[in-house]
Amino acid sequence: MAKPSKKAFPLRLDPALHGAIERAAASDLRSINAEIECLLREALQRRGVKLSEPVRPKRGRPPKNPQGDES
């Protein structure tokens, strides 16, 4: 089994706060988890905490020929 790339932990939220995050996530076309992560990054940035850019997985299909030859 592969090691997860992100730290998982339980989080208890007030139902009203969860609902507000859920609505914000839907309007941003994100999952609730991605919305919480985005909100945390924004809050830390406003406080002057430096974070490296998140490593995003590459999207789409891999190239057919990784050497770049046209066949």
Tens digit of each residue's pLDDT (9 = 90 or more) over 26-54: 999 999 999 999 999 999 999 999 888 77
Q: Give exposure, 25-45, as e/b (b: 16+ Cβ within 10 Å).
A: beeeeeeeeebbeeeeeeeee
> Is 25 within the bounds of a domain?
yes
Task: Decide if 62 is inside a domain.
Answer: no
30 within some domain: yes
Residue 22 pLDDT = 97
**In whole angstroms, how far apart are CA 3 and each of 6, 7, 19, 63?**
9, 10, 31, 26
Q: Is residue 29 situated within a structural domain?
A: yes
Prediction pTM value: 0.67
Task: Indicate whether 31 belongs to any domain.
Answer: yes
Q: How many domains does the chain have?
A: 1
Give helix then strand counts, H and E, for the chain.
2, 0
Q: Which domain holds residue 37?
A: 15-46
Query: Higher pLDDT residue, 28 or 6?
Result: 28
Q: Are 3 and 11 a contacting pair, CB within 8 Å?
A: no
